[in-house]
Amino acid sequence: MNNEAITKKNYKFINTFTLKLMAILFMTIDHVAVVIGTRPDSGHLYYSNLLSPHTYEIMRHFGRLAFPIYCYLIVEGFFFTRNVKKYVLRLTIFAFISQIPFSLAVMKDPFYMGDLNTLFTLAIGLTCVAFMDAATTKRTIPYQLSFIIIIALSALSGLLKTDYSIYGILLIFIFYIFRGQPVKIFAAMILDCILLQPATQLYSLFALIPIFLYNGKKGPSIKYVFYIYYPLHLTLLYFIYMGMSR
């Protein structure tokens, strides 16, 4: 075994299982801050008295690491799945299941539909990647048709106000187009953050550390854990908030 192979083997030690656990941890920290640390008023969120503003901001900064990891995992899942249609369908089903818990947790209103949860963005982003791959790699549909569909789906994401919206879809494309090219991913991600997100989203760049340490191995399977955990923890956090607010 040459030195390059040894270095590569020792350098990349994070598998899919570990990445998923890290994403779940960062997401939970972020959602604790949002659900417990804010209160809704007239469609806007304000600090609650349940967390100090300083604690809230620190937790949100850690939370910025979750979404890029999920976007990366979506792309990796695309390359390894045997049925991308089922993959998209699974995301979409759980997006609908999670919407009421999402609205309840964030806006304290189960029927608030002013914003849609992150799973909708991931499902749309995965669909866009599938159409691009069909046009550029598999050559099964015309490139022009793929482009039109991707623009339409991205516009739909913006109109529906899915969480992270266009920024999220572009981030998924960044991981797809520049797969295996860390410098280009880093540069494109900075540009995506600057153009489409508040400055605090730049903290999400730290997510590239575990992503670039990913070794391509699966590890223990937790295929449905995130899908179940997402609506479940949002519901639990809502009840915690209600208990603390009394």
Angle at 11 between CA 8 and CA 13, to 5 degrees: 110
Kindly report the number of other CB atoms within 10 A of residue 238's CB atom. 20
pLDDT given at position 9 = 52
Considering the domain boundaries, does residue 122 fall inside one?
yes
SS3 content of the chain, % helix, strand, coil (to 5): 75, 5, 20
Instruction: Give the H/E segment covering residue 45.
Output: strand 44-47
Contact 11, 4 (CB under 8 A): no
Angle at 23 between CA 182 and CA 236, to 5 degrees: 160
How many CA atoms within 13 Å lie on the side-chain side of 152? 8
Considering the domain boundaries, does residue 83 fall inside one?
yes
pLDDT given at position 51 = 97
Considering the domain boundaries, does residue 4 fall inside one?
no
Considering the domain boundaries, does residue 134 fall inside one?
yes
Low-confidence ranges of the chain (pLDDT < 50): 1-8
pLDDT digits 0-9 by tens, 24-46: 999 999 999 999 999 999 889 99
pLDDT given at position 246 = 83
Count of structural domains within the chain: 1
Host domain of residue 236: 13-245
Residues 6+ apart with CB under 8 A from 210: 14, 18, 19, 22, 69
What is the C-alpha to C-alpha distance for residues 32 and 213, in angstroms, rounded to an integer?
27
pLDDT given at position 8 = 47
Q: What pTM, to 2 d.p., does this model score?
A: 0.94
Residue 6 token pair: 């040894």
Letter for the amino acid at 201?
A: Q
Considering the domain boundaries, does residue 5 fall inside one?
no
